[in-house]
Amino acid sequence: MVKLLEPQTMLKGRYRIAGPIGQGGMGAVYRAEDTLLPGRICAVKEIAPDPDIEPDMLTQLQEQFRREASVLARLDHPNLPKVSDYFTHKGREYLVMDFVPGHDLREIIEEALKENRFIEERQVLDWADQLCSALSYLHKQSPPILHRDIKPSNIKLTPSGLIKLVDFGLVKLLTSDEARTVTVVQGQGTAAYTPLEQYGGDDTHTDIRSDVYALGATLYHLLTGRAPMTARERFLRPEALALPHTINPAISPGVERAILTALALHPDKRPADIATFQAMLHESGGSVITPLLLTTHEWRTAVQTNTPLLVTAGILIILALIVTP
């Protein structure tokens, strides 16, 4: 673990550190005050390279960081925190982002478990739609951007109900020349949400389907209250992954089928992209969907599509009541 910055530390003569939000093996995230914009609170992500790294390699990593941070700073999506600044200070790299208030989804899962309940499927699907929107946006950048560390603790639910995918720690830029592909921070993600191709230091086999896997694992955790077995353990014991409905019987068959497809060990067996996965989540597959599990948008669409049928059915019901003695 790197040594944390002390409260009141000033960075770049502008950002006053209030305290740590989280810490990992290669850095930390801090809550900070932007002194040039009074009242603005931001999140400062610190990335500390290996202290034993060769000077030439350190220079390459710093150049790599600036290249990729400049890409992140151009992103603009409601479900992603805005990156507003990046700089190097005393050998460490820093990203400055919007501070996102609220609880992360890991905390919300734990709260549900304490109350001996599952999070409602319709709520999870609403969050999934917002995450799919953010990930589709990232994947459509040029070059495409992979998140590579999607998990409940990296997703914030704001007081307004907006979902934010808050951590860019393992972002990967996909280029046509994979030998030149770089990441902001090398890492393996978190085991329960990491596909097999992302294990180890070799990034050459990861693509947007790796994010599909991680999102599927995240939805599995949200709906069942437990993280899925790791891909490595499932490779050794295919039966290790419990079917979601055996844990939470309220999960609809179509949603279960979509999640299990996203969790396929081989990338070729997963949905080809986020949009395909999102469509699968909303497919009934011929099964009966309980009305209470429909979102407001789905209700509106269903009513508009079937208005003539509903009117006819209503008339027939009225006539039947009239003629029935």
The catalytically annotated residue of 149, 167, 203, 273 is: 149
| Dihedral, CA of residue 263, residue 119, residue 255 and residue 230, to nearest 10 | 10
Q: How far apart are CA 294 and CA 163, in angstroms?
A: 19
Residues forming a β-bridge with 47: 27, 93
Q: How far apart are CA 281 and CA 80, in angstroms?
A: 22
Q: Identify the burial level of 230 via C-beta atoms within 10 angstroms of its C-beta, where 0-12 means exposed, 13-18 middle and 19 or more buried.
A: buried
Q: How far apart are CA 41 and CA 35, in angstroms?
A: 9
- The CA-atom distances, in angstroms, between 12 and each of 4, 16, 81, 116, 289 are 17, 9, 21, 47, 55
State how beta strands 155-157 and 103-104 pair.
Answer: antiparallel
Token pair listed for 290: 């309980």
State how beta strands 172-173 and 163-165 pair.
Answer: unpaired
Rounded to 5 degrees, φ, ψ at 131 are: -65, -40
Residues forming a β-bridge with 183: 172
Q: Catalytic annotation on 149?
A: yes
* Catalytic residue positions, numbered: 149
